[in-house]
């Protein structure tokens, strides 16, 4: 069983984890807390400044986080992901995913001319909006549309088909109904 100290919270093994795996999880926890609660963190502007926080039990107790990690299927090489990327880091909103699955849940790029993920202005004549999706490293053209919203809905359909629960949807409320 692990022993606690103020400086190093975990000194010995956690059942089911190697020392390297415990250190890896400690880094995940420390990084998560830093980007959400430390204004000097280089990634704070995308997390803490947008109101994303880490739940109190994970901040106050390394053991709580490690227990959750083991119970929720942590394996080396997986990353922590928030199901709702606008939600906080809590046991109900977090899961372990591969890098590829985590990339599927990204927000729209900041410099995009569209309000929606997977949608861009079509420079050609005709329908002014184009929907595309990246699947297995390839860009797949979904179609050209007369409205930005219809292109976003088409992207959502393709994202659900290709990525399932990991899809980041433009209009999730429409899928829920």
Higher pLDDT, 115 or 106: 115
Give the right CATH number for 119-171 from 3.40.1410.10, 3.40.630.30, 3.30.730.10, 3.30.40.10. 3.30.730.10
- Cβ within 8 Å of residue 36, ≥6 positions away: 44, 47, 48, 52, 53, 54, 89
Domain ranges of the chain: 19-97, 119-171
Could you say which DSSP state residue 97 is in?
E
Q: pLDDT for 79-114, tens place per residue? A: 999 988 889 999 999 999 988 888 766 665 555 677
The Cα 175–Cα 152 span in angstroms is 12
64: three-class secondary structure by DSSP: helix
- The per-residue pLDDT for 125 is 66
46 confidence band (pLDDT: 50, 70, 90):
confident
The Cα 45–Cα 35 span in angstroms is 8
């Amino acid at each position: 069983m692990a022993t606690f100290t103020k400086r190093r919270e975990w000194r010995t093994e956690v059942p089911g984890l190697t020392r390297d795996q415990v250190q890896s999880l400690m880094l995940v926890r420390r990084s998560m807390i830093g980007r959400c609660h430390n204004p000097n963190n280089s990634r704070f502007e995308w997390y803490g400044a947008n109101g994303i926080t880490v739940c109190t039990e994970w901040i106050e107790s390394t053991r709580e986080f490690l227990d959750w990690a083991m119970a929720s299927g942590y394996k080396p090489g997986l990353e922590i992901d928030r199901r709702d990327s606008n939600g906080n880091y809590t046991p109900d909103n977090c899961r372990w995913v591969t890098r590829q699955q985590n990339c599927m849940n990204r927000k729209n790029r900041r410099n995009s001319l569209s309000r929606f993920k997977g949608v861009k202005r079509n420079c050609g004549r005709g329908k002014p909006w184009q929907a595309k999706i990246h699947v297995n490293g390839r860009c797949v053209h979904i179609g050209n549309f007369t409205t930005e919203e219809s292109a976003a809905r088409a992207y959502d359909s393709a994202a659900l088909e290709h990525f399932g629960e990991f899809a980041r949807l433009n209009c999730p409320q429409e899928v829920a109904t």
